[in-house]
């Protein structure tokens, strides 16, 4: 309840010109980064439904005015936070090594959880069924779809090289890895551990591609 001390300090003390004085006012990217931190922090602690501009401002150690000077609406702010924090799968260099490439692309999906503090798929479904699923579509288009497509491409090339059975080079198999990570983030805990990613690669994705795996059961 009570009174919040008005002279509450920000978490980060930047190296200002006067080293003795506490940095009380951030600008530009420093401020922007603090706001994005606050957004994901709020998503993690109170959830999308209870995320308010007041709370984000308070968590960032700033005020609502600053937020509305940058974004017209709450959704714009969140979408912008995502665009700045989500990894870009297209930047991942592919080596041609099947296991390494699949692993790298799945780590990209994993990074989309950790970079948003595990709130990525909370956001995906929070808006499901709404009129303008801005945030939802941002994540799907930015990370999940590209990763699945890139994994599919990696599988296709491996099939051309004869490393895997050709029938396994499809989007269903390509989607299995991301699906396992999404599942883990939703059911177990928000941020997916490294060992789990490795397990998925070695016990799910790669076994599905081996020559001897039965091609059809139905």
Partner DNA sequence: CGAATTGGATACTGATCCGTATCTTACGGA
Partner DNA sequence: TCCGTAAGATACGGATCAGTATCCAATTCG
- The residues that touch its own copies, with contacts defined as CB under 8 A, are 43-50, 99, 118-119, 121-122, 124-130, 140, 144-145, 170, 172-173, 175-176, 178-180, 182-183, 186-187, 190, 198-204, 206-208, 210, 212-218
Question: Cα 103–109–113 angle (5° rounding)?
Answer: 130
* 184 φ/ψ angles, rounded to the nearest 5 degrees: -60, -45
Q: How far is the CB of 30 from DNA (least distance, A)?
A: 9
CB within 8 A of 134, min separation 6: which ones?
75, 76, 78, 79, 127
Q: Using CB distances below 5 to 8 A depending on partner kind, what does residue 20 bind out of DNA, its own copies, none?
A: none
Where b means 16+ CB within 10 Å and e means fewer, 42-61 reads bbeeeeeeebebebbbbbbb
Pick 6 or 128: Cβ nearer DNA:
6
Q: How far is the CB of 154 from its own copies (least distance, A)?
A: 15
16 part of the interface to DNA, by CB under 7 A: yes
Looking at the Cβ atoms of 62 and 209, the one nearer to DNA is 62
Distance of closest approach, residue 165 Cβ to its own copies, in angstroms: 10
Alpha-carbon distance values, 152 to 4, 64, 169, 170 (Å): 53, 44, 6, 6
In angstroms, what is the minimal distance from the CB of 192 to its own copies? Answer: 12
C-alpha distances out from residue 148 to 16, 85, 87, 131, Å: 45, 19, 14, 26
CB atoms within 10 A of CB 130: 10
Query: Nearest distance from residue 126's CB to its own copies, in Å?
Result: 5
Cα gap 113→106, rounded to integer Å:
11
Q: Which is closer to its own copies, CB of 44 or CB of 64?
A: 44
Q: Does 9 bind DNA (CB under 7 A)?
A: no
What one-character DSSP code corresponds to residue 10?
P
As measured in angstroms, the least distance from the Cβ of 120 to DNA is: 20
User: Residues near 8 by Cβ (< 8 Å), separated by ≥ 6?
Assistant: 61
Site string for DNA, 26-65 (x = CB under 7 A): xxx--x------------------xxxxxx-----xxxxx
Chain contacts with DNA (rule: CB under 7 A): 6, 10, 16-17, 21, 23-28, 31, 50-55, 61-66, 68-69, 72-74
């Amino acid at each position: 309840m009570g009174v919040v001390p008005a002279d509450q300090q920000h978490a980060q003390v930047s190296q200002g010109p006067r080293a003795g004085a506490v940095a009380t006012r951030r600008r530009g990217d420093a401020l922007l980064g603090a706001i994005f931190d606050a957004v994901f922090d709020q998503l993690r602690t109170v959830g999308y439904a209870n995320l308010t501009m007041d709370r984000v401002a308070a968590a960032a150690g700033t005020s609502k005015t600053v937020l509305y000077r940058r974004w017209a609406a709450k959704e714009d702010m969140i979408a912008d936070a995502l665009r700045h924090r989500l990894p870009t799968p297209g930047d991942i260099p592919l080596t041609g090594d099947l296991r390494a490439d699949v692993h790298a692309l799945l780590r990209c999906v994993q990074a989309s959880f950790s970079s948003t503090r595990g709130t990525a798929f909370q956001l995906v479904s929070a808006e499901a069924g709404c009129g303008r699923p801005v945030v939802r579509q941002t994540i799907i288009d930015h990370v999940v779809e590209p990763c699945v497509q890139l994994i599919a491409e990696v599988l296709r090339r491996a099939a051309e090289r004869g490393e895997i059975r050709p029938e396994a080079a499809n989007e269903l198999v390509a989607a299995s890895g991301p699906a396992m990570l999404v599942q883990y983030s939703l059911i177990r805990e928000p941020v997916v551990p490294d060992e789990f990613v490795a397990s998925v690669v070695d016990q799910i994705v790669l076994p599905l591609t081996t020559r001897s795996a039965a091609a059809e059961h139905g």
